[in-house]
Structure 1
Amino acid sequence: MLDWEHIFATRSSRMRASEIRELLKLLEQPDIISFAGGIPDPALFPDEAFKQAYADIFSGPQINAALQYSVSEGYKPLREWLVGEMAKIGIPCSVDNVFITSGSQQALDYLGKLFLSPKDTALVTWPTYLGALQAFNAYEPTYDQLSLNGNRTPDGYREAAAKAGGAVKFAYLSSDFSNPTGETVDRAGREKLLELADELDVAIIEDAAYQNLRYDGEPVPPIMALDIARNGGIENTRTIYSGSFSKTLAPGLRVGFVVAAMPVIRKLVLMKQAADLHSSTINQIAIAHVAERIFPEQVAKIKKAYSARRDAMLAALDKYMPAGATWTKPEGGMFVWVRLPEGMDGAELLARSIQTEKVAFVPGKAFYADGSNNNTLRLSFSCASEAMIEEGIQRLGRLIGTAVAEAA
């Protein structure tokens, strides 16, 4: 058999299977209560609206355009709709500032390609979205911990990046109800990040995949909105806003978007032309049809369902978790982050949980760029009923309590 390893590019050695994608296979097992996949509930998809949208496309004058090659920037009516939505959250922009991607994951891949040369440094939160690490890994960066509490100086970041053999290129974070912790960066933290990025003269990648999923608390302006307010317009900003329809309408259509200053958009368009020419035309048109018709109603529907599940999970954690375990209390999104007592290992707990309690979750160390903090785990409540959440957390709490007692 041919030995491929010596032919592969060096970057291929940094490619790792997603623990989350592997765990999604557990959803096919009927006896498993899964809190693993951070995916939307398919029962909440607006399937009737999409049936109508595709029927309209196939029976109307758009059909030829829908099945044809299209422009790399994306379907213009969808981008125009997004311009209106951006204005509502304090991000005035033009259609030329909006770029459609094949899901927000493609946006992260493109942005990693755009900014990172081997050994350059990406600042990421500790923990951070696993998919971002996978996207950036291919471009052979160094990671440094993004701190918003003032314990790191710009010079400290520069020196660490230079020691690693490159320069700091961007700060990446999920600002609202982040994956994996469910936490939100407050306004003061966002302002500090803008000041840090100004000092370092680097980009900010704002992953806003969950921004629409706020259940309570006061909204915080997007980092890009604060950047625009400081600098007088989107063309003067260093923030790149990445969004998606996956958590609100349907993930299977793979439609995401980037909002940024024109120099960034122009480079992304060139990448799109080289990679896949354009995102699926017919899917973009269908998303535009559905978004224009029912987006506010759809968001209200999923927020009502997910909010109840979030409340059920927090209540069950309060009821069943043993002393020594702590967890976040998110105001939105799909996740609760649990920190186990010191000395416990999330991966070992998962193996035991699957075997004895039939409960799945994601071990937390996968979300750390350095593979640390193995006494953490991520729970998703989006695809479990309130009854399943009650039963699953009771089982998990029992298992953790047993493990704590055994270690005592």
Structure 2
Amino acid sequence: MSLKSKMMIPRLATIKRKSVQFDQSGGPTHNLALYLKAKTPEIVNLSHNVNPTSKRRREHQVVQSLCSKMAGIVEEIEDEHLKHLFDNKDVINVYNLDVVNLSAGAPGPDLLKRCIPLFMQATVHRMEKEQEHAYLFQYGITSGLWEYREQLSQFLTKRYSEQVNRADLVLTCGAAHGLVLIIDTFLPRNAVIFVEDVTYMIALEAFRQFPSMKVVPVPQTSEGVDTEALNIIASEEKSKGSWELTENKLFWAIFYTIPIFHNPTGLTMSQNCCESLVRVARKLDLAVVRDDVYNLLYYGDSDSPPRRLFSYDRGTEGFRGGHVISNGTFSKIMAPGVRVGWLEVAPRLALVLRNSYELFLRSGILKSGGAVNQYMSGVITSILELGLEDKHLDFLVHTCKERMQAVCDTLDQFLPSYCSFTRPEGGYFVWLRLPESVDANRLAKWCQDKYKVAAIPGSRFSVKQGFKNYLRLAIAFHQVEILTEATKNLCLGIQDYVGNKCK
């Protein structure tokens, strides 16, 4: 089933439910008739000169026909017994080693199994705390469990080697939810979303859910986004628009980025680039939304990971920040299934809004139900309080460093000389550059069929479907032996393809 078909199904299901009203009443209900008149040319185009009785009869026939067709489409939905996101006939199942899938940006089963004793111990610990009032099972405060944000601020302060304040944190269901929450809360309907030339493909899909917002790519350099180009492009876009800003909708635009261990390139934004980006954001009054997803998966020799872009925003003397929002998650440093993350918002937002969460209290997403994922955040609070996440993260860093090194060492040994890559200092991904003449979409299919290894073509990460001569490899799911063999096979597949298909 195509993505378009899947997106249509909820609306069709709604129409099917309305068609029940149609069948019971013997004629179209008022609301359904209005909806179908707006959506159905056969009804709209009926001549105004037609006899009213004949026109109603024709409307009745068209509506019946349309509802029948749509009901048939809805009935074709399959509800297969799937076990995980990758257990789908539309993708290569990363658990199935018939084809080694180097596409999945997810921790492997050997890493996830280590979460079982963590959660067993933390659950017991948390349930003992809930014996008196069971607050954890109540609607939570909008910004998230106080204890969760307190323990998280201590954990992040230690791991980042810089201060993170509890009052600046907001509980989310992970980075994807945080991104949508930012867009829904901070931006007007006609906002502009700036992205790097290549960026996280799922973020691009999320942006398409806001069709009235314009997505504009900006060139990149080896140091990060080209801030001079961003300044020119964003200034031009701002001059062309009229922005519906309110006390809630604070920014006319955002720039979305993954500045540390970028997805898909693996690069880290330089200090000069960070400083320049913050200056551009302040000058044009746009927000920089950064995914802080891979920061703590640092494989270098320093005691701390690279400095966060968030700290550049609030680090200037006389300026308290407010143009950078940090979007974090436990998906990569614990387990994606927990669906728990956080936003970190700067002090200026707290001052403008009188407290850090007044803006989010007004969010339609949070206002009614309170904190998202209240229960799981309580369990994770215990994991943090007991020091279990520190030990788990240390193990993840050690293991993923070995896996990254295995992939890069294999590329150094077997990758043809006409290809290139940069060895990342952290994160999940390696970005391969192929000859200009190579279409990575075709190459990927070739390697999948002939060499039983899969990777994602670069065009998936581009707004304009560019970067067709690039591949992204992911290192976290498979163990070293499998990664080494699969990477070698990929190199052989590239050499074979270029030698045979590109002549």
Report if TM-score (shorter chain) is over 0.5. Answer: yes
Residue aligning to 1:41: 108
Q: Kindly indicate whether the alpha-carbon contact (under 8 Å) linking 1:217 and 1:331 is maintained by their aligned counterparts in 2.
A: no
In structure 2, what is the equivalent of residue 266 of structure 1? 358
Query: Matched residues in 1 for 2:86 and 2:229: separation?
Result: 31
Which of the residues 205, 226, 236 maps onto 2:312? Answer: 226
Q: Name the CA shift for 1:313/1:149 in 2 (closer, same or farther; >3 Å).
A: same
User: 1:246 and 2:331 equivalent?
Assistant: yes
* TM-score normalised to structure 2 length: 0.72
Structure 2 residue 150 is the aligned partner of structure 1 residue 65: no
1:287 lines up with 2:287 in the alignment: no
Spell out the pairing of 1:166-315 with structure 2 (5 A cutoff): 169-218=253-302, 219-232=305-318, 236-260=321-345, 261-262=349-350, 263=353, 265-271=357-363, 272-274=365-367, 277-292=370-385, 293-315=387-409
Residue by residue, what CA displacement relative to the aligned partner does 1:209-259 show, whole Å, maximum 9, x if unpaired? 11100001543321111211115575x421111111111122111000001
Question: Distance between the aligned counterparts of 1:85 and 1:115, measured in 2?
Answer: 27
Query: Closer, same or farther in 2 for the Cα pair 1:27/1:377, shift >3 Å?
Result: same
Which deviations, in whole Å up to 9, do the C-alpha atoms of 1:278-325 show, x marking residues without a partner? 222221011111122222211111111000110110011111212321
Aligned pair partner of 1:142 in 214, 220, 236: 214
CA distance in 1, matches of 2:98, 2:207: 36
| Deviating more after overlay: 51-60 vs 160-169 | 160-169
CA displacement, residues 109-162 of structure 1 (integer Å, 9 cap, x when unaligned): 111223444553212112111222222221222223345445426344221455
Change (3 A) 1:355 1:155: closer
Give the whole-Å Cα distance in 2 for the aligned partners of 1:86 and 1:231.
23
Identity level (%): 24
Distance 2:322 2:204 in 1: 24
2:124 aligned partner, one-letter code: A
TM-score by length of 1: 0.88
Compared CA separation, residues 165 and 397, structure 1 to 2 (3 A) = farther
Per-residue displacement from partner, 1:158-215 (whole Å, max 9, x unpaired)?
A: 2145558879511111111111111110111100101111111111112111110000
Greater RCO structure (CA 8 Å; 6+ sep): 1
Task: Return 111-120 or 370-379, whichever deviates more.
Answer: 111-120
Cα drift, residue 102 of structure 1:
0.7
Q: Would the aligned equivalents of 2:172 and 2:373 in 1 still touch at CA under 8 Å?
A: no
The one of 53, 74, 81 equivalent to 2:151 is 81
2-side partners of 1:283 and 1:240: how far apart? 23
Q: 1:134 to 1:20 in 2, by over 3 A?
A: farther
SS where residue 472 of structure 2 aligns? Answer: strand
Matched with 2:428 is 334
Alpha carbons 2:406, 2:484 under 8 Å: kept: yes
- Which stretch shows the higher mean deviation, 81-90 or 303-312? 81-90
Greater C-alpha radius of gyration = 2
Structure 1 moving runs of 4+ over 6 Å: 5-9, 19-23, 164-167
Deviations 1:48-94 (A, max 9, x none): 11111112334553582232221221111110122224444365454
> How far, CA to CA, are the matches of 2:146 and 2:270 in structure 1?
33
Greater Cα shift, 85-94 or 384-393: 85-94
Q: Secondary structure at the match of 2:202?
A: helix
Structure 2 distance, partners of 1:345, 1:266, is 49
Taking the aligned partners of 1:58 and 1:150, their CA distance within structure 2 comes to 50
Deviation digits for residues 368-407 of structure 1, max 9, x if unmatched? 1221111111100111122112211121111111121121
Higher alpha-carbon deviation: 213-222 or 173-182: 213-222
Contact 1:146 1:171 in 2 (8 A): no
**Distance change >3 Å, CA 202–CA 405, structure 1 → 2:** same
Distance 1:310 1:205 in 2: 27
Confirm or deny: 8 A CA contact 1:91 1:224 kept in the other structure.
Answer: no
Q: What amino acid maps onto 2:315 in structure 1?
A: A
Secondary structure in structure 2 of the residue aligned to 1:123: strand
The SS at the match of 1:327 is coil
SS at match of 1:330: coil
